[in-house]
Amino acid sequence: MKQKKNQVHIIFLFVLLFIFVFSFGCVSNDAVASETPLKPKTLDPGTITVGVVVDTDSYSVTNEEIITLISTADSILQNNTKLKFSLLGIQRVDYSALQEKAKKDRTNPIVLLYPDLSKQPEYVVILLSDSTSASFGGYSYSVKRSGFCNRCSKPDSNSQEYVAVGVIDWTHMYSSCGYNRSDSKNLVHVSDVSFGGECRNQNGVKCIYNEKFGYYQCNDSETLNSLYNSNKYYFAASTIVHELMHFFGEGVLSDHFGTQGCNKWMNGTDYGAYSLNIFQSYAGTCPYLYEVIEKSYKECG
């Protein structure tokens, strides 16, 4: 009888231990669903470390797709600078839940995602569909992190204690045609021709269905033969580079290729007269910004 009681007692303790471990795991991971570290943090000269965060409510993206996406962005960056991206890892989260937790804890979601500064990437790419990213393809902001050193120092303040963040719409349509945009997150195809400024402000252009991408585009040779249209990664990859470059400009409008501010920086060259592919090779940003980011790059002391 005593042996049977001991067995029951052990089973009861095991059940309690299981409940405790399971509950503790749920509490500590209520926002972060999973993490995939790809390699140890590298501080090789000339690298910009990148972490990718996928909002599970917005998209289902495989690791292979993300690796290809960052590799494509890396090619764009390397074509214009001596710098390169180094992908550290991938996290999948319920970003709304993460934001709520950050608000409750009076902190920033980036701090919750990367509590250990030694694992903090210099550039965090968040694949998220919200009203802003769905409307414009992406946007960027910075998060101050005391004790962290970003080797791409901000040119306006020379600060290195920050994390660059780019929010990217993974499924943003390139040169879409004939869509009602009243709901930026749920476009509805309503016309066989462009309207409302589509097709680079050319109304009446015929729409063509791109089976490779799964949506209607402007049916003109310049669009169909452009870099952004070359594969499903190039447009989003360019947006990743584009949003990073904004940290090294003087304003959203002046930072863009072909603007008056850009032409002034480029010694009066009228970059607005260049071809669409030249524009896209610089990810839509002024070539001058690539010089700025290279000059801002410095090792941490």
Residue-by-residue DSSP string for 158-212: ---SEEEEEEE-TTPPSSB-SEE-SSTTS-EE--SB--TTHHHH-TTPBEEEETT
Check residue 273 and give its pLDDT.
Answer: 63
Check residue 155 and give its pLDDT.
Answer: 87
Check residue 43 and give its pLDDT.
Answer: 64
Check residue 50 and give its pLDDT.
Answer: 98
The token duo for 209 is 């269905």
Q: Is the dihedral of CA 225, 80, 249, 173 positive or negative?
A: positive
Q: Do residues 99 and 81 touch, judged by C-beta distance below 8 A? A: no
Where the chain has pLDDT below 50, the residues are 1-33, 37-41
Check residue 209 and give its pLDDT.
Answer: 97
Residue 290: CB atoms within 10 A of its CB come to 21
Check residue 272 and give its pLDDT.
Answer: 61
From residue 28, alpha-carbon distances to 2, 113, 301 in Å are 39, 12, 34
Check residue 229 and give its pLDDT.
Answer: 97
Task: Confirm whether pTM is higher than 0.75.
Answer: yes
Check residue 271 and give its pLDDT.
Answer: 64
Check residue 35 and give its pLDDT.
Answer: 53
Check residue 156 and give its pLDDT.
Answer: 81
Residue ranges of domains in the chain? 32-168, 176-225
The DSSP line for 88-137 is EEEEEE-HHHHHHHHHHHTS-HHHHH--SGGG--SEEEEE---HHHHHHS
Q: Do residues 166 and 125 touch, judged by C-beta distance below 8 A? A: yes
The residue written with tokens 């030249």 in the block is 278
Q: CA–CA separation, 130 vs 143, rounded Å?
A: 19
* Kind and range of the H or E run holding 237: helix 234-245
The token duo for 67 is 């690796």
Q: CA–CA separation, 30 vs 135, rounded Å?
A: 29
Check residue 268 and give its pLDDT.
Answer: 73
Length of the chain: 301
Check residue 27 and give its pLDDT.
Answer: 25
Q: CA–CA separation, 101 vs 30, rounded Å?
A: 9
Q: CA–CA separation, 146 vs 143, rounded Å?
A: 10
Residue 230: CB atoms within 10 A of its CB come to 13
The token duo for 78 is 């390397």
